[in-house]
Structure 1
Amino acid sequence: MPVAPPRPPRPTPTRRLMLALLAAVTVTAGTLAAPAASAAPPAPLGPTVTRTDKPPTGYTVTFRYRAPEGVQQVHVYGDWFYSRPETITCQDCGDARPPAEWQPGDVAATPWHIQAMRKGPDGVWTFTTPLPAGTFRYAFTHDCANELATGCALYDDPANRWQIQPQYPGAPGAVRSTIYVPTSRKFPTYDTGYQAPVAKVGRLESRRYTSPLSTNPAGVHDIVVYLPHGYDPNRATPYPTLYLSHGSGDHSTAWTMQGVAHLILENAIKDRAAQPMVIVSTDFNGLPGGNEGYVDELRNNIFPFVEQNYRVSTRAQDRAFAGFSAGGSRAYTIMYNHTDLFGYHAAWSAGGPAATQAQVDSMKSVAGGIMIGTGLQDRLGNIAENSQRNAAALRAAGVELDEYNVPGVHTWHVWRPLLNHYLRTLTFRATTTDLDVTTSPAGLSHHTKVTATATVGTVSTSTSAPSGTVDFYAGDTHLGSAPVHHGVARLKKTVHGELNAPVVARYQGDKLFNDSRSDPVDAR
């Protein structure tokens, strides 16, 4: 951001006298022109977000970019084209309108198009456009004649380049500049405050570890680690860990650069909807063996490195996994065949193969939870249809899962809200409820004194204990409710006659932990 110039020093008496004499000379001589107004400082390079309170989105963004000498035309290339959902009948179909033509109900769609910038007298190329709320990627092209930038080199914004660059030559992913636009109250577009920049942010680290499996780079491989704000390497309770996989054409920087996963996490922590955790963004490029090779890399190389270098738990129930597209295919392999590696699983924008009975039985034992999600207009290989069909088949087979789908296609505008939902509704939020029930005569004829004690515990490691309320039932009869203190809720109740049905305790959950229920317990 531009920095205000320093205030000039306060004039001394001698200097004030000299200035007065100079002013007198200027006025009386009449031959000196009045001092010219100081020129405004040049606008900074890079993007500038401006609140306009004007349609269609209430905000505009101006991009300022200085191209090398000799470039005749510069275009900006960004993921901000929009379509009506009903027009998206195939991948890269739809009306694909620029953001100046945004309409309520639009979804961000593909393909991107280039938009011409204008060169000013200062030699700087500029482009101003309204943008709806959200995080956007963009790059620049030089003398590109193809409307879709096919075959054209893409250039980062040097004034707004992502802090972690690709860790090895030839790493995929060419768009490494992003901009965030807030939601306008006057012209609301999308609810994307969960991905907004935060005042208190943790630390991103680019790490290289030994990997006998890796062919590129040979013998070593890379991850990006995010340590949450306030990370304490000596914390008594180890942190849980979220492992993320990118899709085709990306690598380990993608989930924090394009996906802003670290900001989504910090916003959830700020809202007390998630606990602090370490995020590990992996790279499946250069690993032979396909999905199974990636699993071998996790088990044999990534887990040991992370657990030796950071204060994280080594228990499976303290690990969560999520991947999209090709990473979603890897998520299905882990979910089906290596369920025991993680306590929480999420597969996004991936059709998924049909599960065998053995795989279904394995998924039923997941300690935390399973999530499946997609963009509802994702036509890449019929992903939207196949994802929903597979989720329905797993539910029919008795697998408990959280299916969450959002409007959109095969883009980050889908994967960011899926991650937000995963963090706020599933990861490291699972609880267990155990119940003990005792009865005794109440001293009144045909009355029974019932004491029901529910113990609510967390499946995953946490520095917080569940709070809230437990409801107690005998069959369909509600016996009463009790608050949870230090993980325990106790109900004492006198009932007429004897209990004729087993007792069940149902924990309602709170902002940080999900609900759970006990097994039925016969009164003693």
Structure 2
Amino acid sequence: MAPAAAAAPSAPLGPEVTKTDQAPGGYAVKFRYQAPEGVTAVHVYGDWTYTKPDSVVCNDCGDGRLPWDWQPGDIAGTPWRTIAMEQGSDGVWETTVPLPAGTFRYAFTHNCASPTASGCALHYDPANPWEIFPQYTGAPGAVRSTIWVPSSAEFPTYDTDYQKPTAAHKTGTLESRRYASPGSTNPPGVHDMVVYTPHGYDPNRATPYPTLYLSHGGGDHSTAWTMQGVAHYILENAIREGVVQQMVVVSTDFNGLPGGNQGYANHLRDIVFPYVEQNYNVSTLSVDRAFGGLSMGGNRATTILYDNTDLFGYHAIWSWPAAAANAAQVERMKTVPGGIHIGTGLQDRLGNTAQLSIARVAALKTQGVDITEYNVDGVHTWHVWRPLLNYYLRNMAFRTTTTGLKVETAPAGKSGNVRVAATATVGAVTTNAASPTGKVDFYAGDTYLGSAPVRHGVAHFRKAVNGALLDAPVVAQYRGDKLFNESRSTALDAG
């Protein structure tokens, strides 16, 4: 039988974010927690340790400063630390913690003497529970709670507004879905995923939605990317800004699947894709799928990129030191139609991840693979993976275009000029409800000839130019817009 709870408190339980207009970050969070009777000490335990980047010389190394000692230039470090709470006259345990901007996970400990909560049970905040809990008994990953702290103009810390929770009426739907999986050992015969459909999702939309598939890391499961990574908020904030198109997000679970990395890839191809495509209005084309995995999920992402390249049009590996690629794998990577992103925390010393990730990118580029590298300051934490996802969404996933060019020329009187009729065709690699807009610039060699607007995917350029300019090949350069990236045509000889 559970111990009896203390009398109901006079003030609300849970976290309260308050604007303090004081250093270090201008905001603080008051935590109020009702512990069971018999608990004599309560601590709040969170991912709020700070350090100078240069102090991280090994995994879990750093300055270990708590939030009130935060300094400009700090990164979030490891390990987590506990902060003592005091019991008030109403029986509620309380403490106020000044925090810089960002998303924080926290839990409570009872009668725990360890400053890192080592060996202590963790208790989530019942006044602030996650929207989705682990779907099966024994699911890995500690159950915690999450709080977001805004940034202060007077006391700037980090730019994390892209993580801000969206209002309920402007947020889509999170669903925990269980599906048949004969090979699964945990849970036996079934498996779980978390699916997010964006605000305004239309199951009957004529154009099916693209799908972003995400993988958690070691010691976590399918709830991680939304409950800890706030992927749904990162997506909705970008959609609201008009820089990302609507998409369905599927957060998978690689635990309990046979066959290691390749078994996971097979599971996606044979079970997950058919299930998602039957139950949601999403495209069945590989160019309309993107993948991203962190840490051990980055290990899965590497196998998918190297050996199952055709499953996705866009690939991302985060915080994983990918192994060397053989010749066949390199050639497959050169065929990726959307793009490849590899990124890490620059101070990630877990398995020497940062150094090895950077070296692998350099090697792949030397072998002729087109890699987009984007790294951020930080270690092996969600404070790194959230900005990496944000970058992937805003700069790569489902944004790639192609530009084709056709050029015709004719004499323009007796002046020596030549009339150029150039037609650029701009298309999106991914099937999208929107189409590329903006302008295309036309060049003869390095000489700018002029530009033309894109209408219905085509830009028509007509101009009389000095014939000598056309000794150089003509190229069309699409500038890109808020939803689509730039692209360049092959050079054509107009002579």
- Provide the TM-score with structure 1 as the length reference: 0.91
Aligned runs of 1:438-453 on 2, under 5 Å?
438-453=408-423
Q: How far has the Cα of 1:473 moved from its partner? A: 1.2
Q: How far has the Cα of 1:74 moved from its partner? A: 0.6
For the pair 1:105 / 2:105, whether they are aligned, the reply is no
Secondary structure at the residue paired with 2:471? coil
Q: Which residue of 2 aligns with 1:13?
A: none
Q: Which residue of 2 aligns with 1:168?
A: 136
For the pair 1:60 / 2:28, whether they are aligned, the reply is yes
In structure 1, how many angstroms separate the alpha carbons of the residues matched to 2:97 and 2:466?
72
In structure 2, how many angstroms separate the alpha carbons of the residues matched to 1:57 and 1:445?
68
**1:230 aligned to 200, 215, 230, which one?**
200
User: 1:467-507, CA deviations, whole angstroms, 9 ceiling, x for partnerless residues?
Assistant: 11111112222211111122111111112236222211011
In structure 1, how many angstroms separate the alpha carbons of the residues matched to 2:67 and 2:205?
47
Secondary structure at the residue paired with 2:40? coil
For the pair 1:514 / 2:485, whether they are aligned, the reply is yes
Aligned runs of 1:107-506 on 2, under 5 Å?
107-199=75-167, 200-497=170-467, 499-506=470-477
Coordinate RMSD, CA, aligned: 1.0
In structure 2, how many angstroms separate the alpha carbons of the residues matched to 1:405 and 1:293?
29
Q: How far has the Cα of 1:315 moved from its partner? A: 0.3
In structure 2, how many angstroms separate the alpha carbons of the residues matched to 1:105 and 1:389?
25
In structure 1, how many angstroms separate the alpha carbons of the residues matched to 2:388 and 2:195?
20
In structure 2, how many angstroms separate the alpha carbons of the residues matched to 1:89 and 1:250?
26
* 8 Å Cα contact 1:133-1:180 kept in structure 2: yes
Residue type of the partner of 2:152? Answer: S
Residue type of the partner of 2:481? Answer: D
Aligned runs of 1:39-54 on 2, under 5 Å?
42-54=10-22
Residue type of the partner of 1:53? Answer: D
* 8 Å Cα contact 2:103-2:148 kept in structure 1: yes
* 8 Å Cα contact 2:133-2:143 kept in structure 1: no
Structure 1: unaligned runs, 5 residues or longer? 1-40
User: 1:170-192, CA deviations, whole angstroms, 9 ceiling, x for partnerless residues?
Assistant: 00111320000000111000000
In structure 1, how many angstroms separate the alpha carbons of the residues matched to 2:330 and 2:240?
36
In structure 2, how many angstroms separate the alpha carbons of the residues matched to 1:511 and 1:314?
25
* 8 Å Cα contact 1:138-1:175 kept in structure 2: no
Secondary structure at the residue paired with 1:506? strand
In structure 1, how many angstroms separate the alpha carbons of the residues matched to 2:220 and 2:467?
67
Residue type of the partner of 1:121? Answer: S
Q: Which residue of 1 aligns with 2:6?
A: none
Q: How far has the Cα of 1:267 moved from its partner? A: 0.7
In structure 1, how many angstroms separate the alpha carbons of the residues matched to 2:467 and 2:255?
68
* 8 Å Cα contact 1:360-1:399 kept in structure 2: yes
In structure 2, how many angstroms separate the alpha carbons of the residues matched to 1:114 and 1:322?
32
* 8 Å Cα contact 2:315-2:340 kept in structure 1: yes
* 8 Å Cα contact 1:292-1:333 kept in structure 2: yes
* 8 Å Cα contact 1:139-1:157 kept in structure 2: yes
In structure 1, how many angstroms separate the alpha carbons of the residues matched to 2:199 and 2:431?
18
Secondary structure at the residue paired with 1:148? coil
In structure 2, how many angstroms separate the alpha carbons of the residues matched to 1:497 and 1:48?
70
In structure 2, how many angstroms separate the alpha carbons of the residues matched to 1:244 and 1:131?
29
In structure 1, how many angstroms separate the alpha carbons of the residues matched to 2:21 and 2:231?
29
* 8 Å Cα contact 2:176-2:192 kept in structure 1: yes
Q: How far has the Cα of 1:342 moved from its partner? A: 0.2
In structure 1, how many angstroms separate the alpha carbons of the residues matched to 2:141 and 2:164?
23
* 8 Å Cα contact 1:439-1:449 kept in structure 2: yes
**2:44 aligned to 61, 67, 76, which one?**
76
Secondary structure at the residue paired with 2:249? strand
In structure 2, how many angstroms separate the alpha carbons of the residues matched to 1:411 and 1:175?
16
Task: State the structure with more CA Rg.
Answer: 1
Q: How far has the Cα of 1:440 moved from its partner? A: 1.2
Q: Give the % identical residues.
A: 68
Q: How far has the Cα of 1:238 moved from its partner? A: 0.2
* 8 Å Cα contact 1:137-1:175 kept in structure 2: no
Q: Which residue of 2 aligns with 1:523?
A: 494
Q: Which residue of 1 aligns with 2:4?
A: none
In structure 2, how many angstroms separate the alpha carbons of the residues matched to 1:147 and 1:162?
24
